[in-house]
């Protein structure tokens, strides 16, 4: 079974790589493009090594100085990497605010973090399954080719590459702290700035490829820890879901924030399940600073963390401290605390509110009022795509396997449950969109849970319903 899966994923990786290389219209395999990828890979590797060593050293120092159940165990590589990201961004922000940001000064946080290797931190590196290595190979090949091609995505051209580029040209945060782009943490842009300066626009895009590979490796590590008996099947299924997800593969090779946020959220989940509060705070703070919408996932992780409630509350407050100062500052300056583009009244920059509108709320039909903002988490769930609704029930497969079900029967039952529940999930979303009221969707969902499947045993039974058996 294991050998067949390994061979199958290896063949899939080779076929996909060959198809991509054969049909690539962007000339990504020219020598100039390959040289640019090599330069970008070198710069990215240097940044990753600095973040890994510095982050691990910081976590070990905090463990020794603060009461923590983690003890002297080696630091998880993923938690160390994300902690290094957070530290790099926080060190670069005052440099940019002082107007000193440039190609050389952007490297100062990296030099400080790299000094952490002097302390010789103990790091637990990943030891993934062969299947995971095959999937990582697919991601690296596809993402590397995308990164070598010219950037064409709107978000990366006008936001994720444009902002760090302007930071480097102007030497400071765009428009100062009173500008809406400076009204929220720019830690990811602080990571992109040195990559852009020394590794061209290919390096930030390779970072997302590294994040995609890190997600697969981190998922492998997490599955081995929580489901060791069924690790091979769970790794294969979860990896296949990711590789078949448009939102995962589409972001690979793009200078965006979704994959870095996903990696930080995964690191937060791993730290929470391992009862590691210090690493949990650092990874959750990084995820929130990269993208506020990570709050939903972080809240769920916070609720299931294997920590006392007092520790959970403290870790939550510390994670919010990474982004809270921006929220307070936005409110004091008349901006929306979380979405500064939305604006309340006249903006401090002098521009009318209509010139700095936040488009995504209306793009997804959520509206702009305070009531719409409060309902945003519910709408984000109820209007999600059906695929996301189905993936949320994947844990039932593991539960059946743990209960001793044959894997073929467990897979059939789970797929049937997927199909059945997706009907009510889609119907609940339809009711919510048509009525605009949460009560209608809740009523349909409650009815689904209460009624369960129709009882059709009377057509085959020999008991009191046997008389209803069709002739």
- 193-231 confidence digits (pLDDT tens): 999 999 888 999 999 999 999 999 998 888 888 878 777
Quote the pLDDT of residue 213.
Answer: 92
What is the average per-residue pLDDT within 21-42?
A: 70
pLDDT score of 204: 92
Interval 114-123 mean pLDDT: 92
pLDDT of amino acid 354: 44
113-117, 271-275, 337-341: which is most confident: 113-117
**pLDDT for position 467:** 42
Q: Does an H or E element contain 281, and which? A: helix 277-290
| Predicted TM-score (pTM) of this structure | 0.70
pLDDT of 231:
78
pLDDT digits (tens, 9 = 90+) for 333-392: 666 666 665 544 444 444 444 443 433 444 444 454 566 556 555 555 454 444 445 555
Strand, coil or helix: what is 164?
helix
Residue 24 is predicted with a pLDDT of: 57
CA dihedral 79, 81, 84, 90 (to 10 degrees): -80
pLDDT in tens, 55-105: 999 999 988 887 666 666 788 999 999 999 999 999 998 898 888 989 999
pLDDT of res. 347: 42
**Mean pLDDT calculated for residue range 434-449:** 71
pLDDT of residue 345: 43
Mean pLDDT of 27-51: 82
CA atoms of 234 and 219, how far apart (whole Å):
10
Give the least confident one: 125-134, 306-315, 363-372: 363-372
**Residue of higher predicted confidence among 10 and 179:** 10
pLDDT of residue 96: 87
Q: For residue 385, what pLDDT is reported?
A: 45
| Gap between the terminal Cα atoms of the chain | 45
Distance CA 230, CA 396 (A): 13
Hey, what are 297's tokens? 């996932």
With a CB cutoff of 8 Å and minimum separation 6, the contacts of 135 are: 9, 13, 216, 239, 242, 243
- Where residue 432 falls among pLDDT bands split at 50, 70, 90? low
Longest dimension (CA), the chain: 87
Specify the pLDDT at position 375. Answer: 58
Beta bridge partners of 76: 124
What mean pLDDT comes out for the span 295-301? 83
| pLDDT score of 111 | 94
- How far apart CA 51 and CA 287 sit, in angstroms, is 16
* Higher-confidence position of 129 and 358: 129
Which of the two residues, 445 and 119, has the higher pLDDT score? 119
d(CA 220, CA 214): 10
Of residues 172 and 123, the one with the higher pLDDT is 123
DSSP-derived 3-state class of residue 124: strand
- pLDDT of 466 above 50: no
- Please report which confidence band the pLDDT of residue 155 belongs to, taking 50, 70 and 90 as the band edges: confident
């Amino acid at each position: 079974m294991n050998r067949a899966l390994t061979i199958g994923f290896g063949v899939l990786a080779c076929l996909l790589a060959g198809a991509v290389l054969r049909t690539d219209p962007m000339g990504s395999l020219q020598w100039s493009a390959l040289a640019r990828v090599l330069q970008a890979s070198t710069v990215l590797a240097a940044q990753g090594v600095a973040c890994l060593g510095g982050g691990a050293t910081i976590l070990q120092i905090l463990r020794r100085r603060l009461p923590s159940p983690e003890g002297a165990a080696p630091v998880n590589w993923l938690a160390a990497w994300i902690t290094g990201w957070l530290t790099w961004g926080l060190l670069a922000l005052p440099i940019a605010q002082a107007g000193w940001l440039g190609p050389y000064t952007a490297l100062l946080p990296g030099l400080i973090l790299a000094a952490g290797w002097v302390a010789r931190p103990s790091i637990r590196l990943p030891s993934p399954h062969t299947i995971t290595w095959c999937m990582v190979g697919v991601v690296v090949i596809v993402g590397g080719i995308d990164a070598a091609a010219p950037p064409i995505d709107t978000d990366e051209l006008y936001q994720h590459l444009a902002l760090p580029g302007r930071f480097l040209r102007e030497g400071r945060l765009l428009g100062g702290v009173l500008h809406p782009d400076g009204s929220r943490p720019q830690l990811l842009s602080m990571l992109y700035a040195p990559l852009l300066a020394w590794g061209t626009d290919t390096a930030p895009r390779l970072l997302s490829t590294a994040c995609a590979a890190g997600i697969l490796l981190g998922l492998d590590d997490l599955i081995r820890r929580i489901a060791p008996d069924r690790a091979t099947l769970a790794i294969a299924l979860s990896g296949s879901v990711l590789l078949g997800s448009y939102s995962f593969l589409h972001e690979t090779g793009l200078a965006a924030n979704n994959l870095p946020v996903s990696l930080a959220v995964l690191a937060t989940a791993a730290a929470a399940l391992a009862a590691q509060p210090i690493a949990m705070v650092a990874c959750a703070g990084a995820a929130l600073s990269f993208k506020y919408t990570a709050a939903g996932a972080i809240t769920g992780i916070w609720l299931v963390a294997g920590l006392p409630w007092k520790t959970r509350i403290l870790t939550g407050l510390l994670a919010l401290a990474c982004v809270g100062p921006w929220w307070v500052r936005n409110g004091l300056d008349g901006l929306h605390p979380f979405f500064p583009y939305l604006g309340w009244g006249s903006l401090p920059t002098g521009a009318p509110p209509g010139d700095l509108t936040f488009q995504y709320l209306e793009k997804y039909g959520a509206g702009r009022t305070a009531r719409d903002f409060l309902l945003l988490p519910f709408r984000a769930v109820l209007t999600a795509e059906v695929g996301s609704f189905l993936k949320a029930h994947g844990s039932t497969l593991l539960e059946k396997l743990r209960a001793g079900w044959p894997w073929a029967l467990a897979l059939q039952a789970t797929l049937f449950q997927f199909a059945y529940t997706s009907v009510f999930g889609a119907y609940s979303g339809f009711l919510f969109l048509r009525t605009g009221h949460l009560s209608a969707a809740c009523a349909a969902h409650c009815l689904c849970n209460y009624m369960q499947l129709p009882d059709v045993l009377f057509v085959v039974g020999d008991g009191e319903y046997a008389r209803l058996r069709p002739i």
